[in-house]
Amino acid sequence: MTAFQPAFPDAELGNNESRAVTLNGRNILVCRAAGDLYAVENRCTHQEAELEGGRIRGCFISCPLHGVRFDLRDGNPMGQLTRVPLSTFEVRLADGVIEVAV
C-alpha cells in the first residue's frame, strides 16, 4: 500500500521551483508549476542526469543536461532523445506540509 510521506514545508517551494528529497529510498523531485504541485522521479530517462535545477515552464521541466522536456502531469517526454516517461507520484498539501505518496 502506498503511504504519504512528509517532504518539507509548503512555504519553502516557490512557483516554478523544484526541490529534491529522498523518501523511502527514492530520489523524488517536488515541483510547483503554474501554482500546482507535482512529484516526479529526479532522474532524466535520457542519460540518468538529475532533473533538479531544470527550468520549469508551464507544466514542463527541462533536463539541465540536454534539455529533454517532461510533462510534470504524467511524466511523458517531449522530443526525440527519449521515449521513456518519468515515474510520477501523487502529491498533496496537509497542514502546510507537502506530502508525497511513495
What does the pLDDT look like over 59-79, one tens digit per residue?
999 999 989 999 999 999 998
> 71 near 57, Cβ under 8 Å?
no
| Overall domain count for the chain | 1
Lookup: cell for 67: 534539455
- Range(s) of the domain holding residue 55: 4-101
pLDDT-derived band at 80 (thresholds 50, 70, 90) equals confident
CB count within 10 Å of CB 15 equals 11
Q: Could you tell me the pTM of the whole model?
A: 0.95
CATH label of the domain that carries residue 56: 2.102.10.10
d(CA 87, CA 65): 19
> What number of other Cβ atoms are within 10 A of residue 74's Cβ?
12
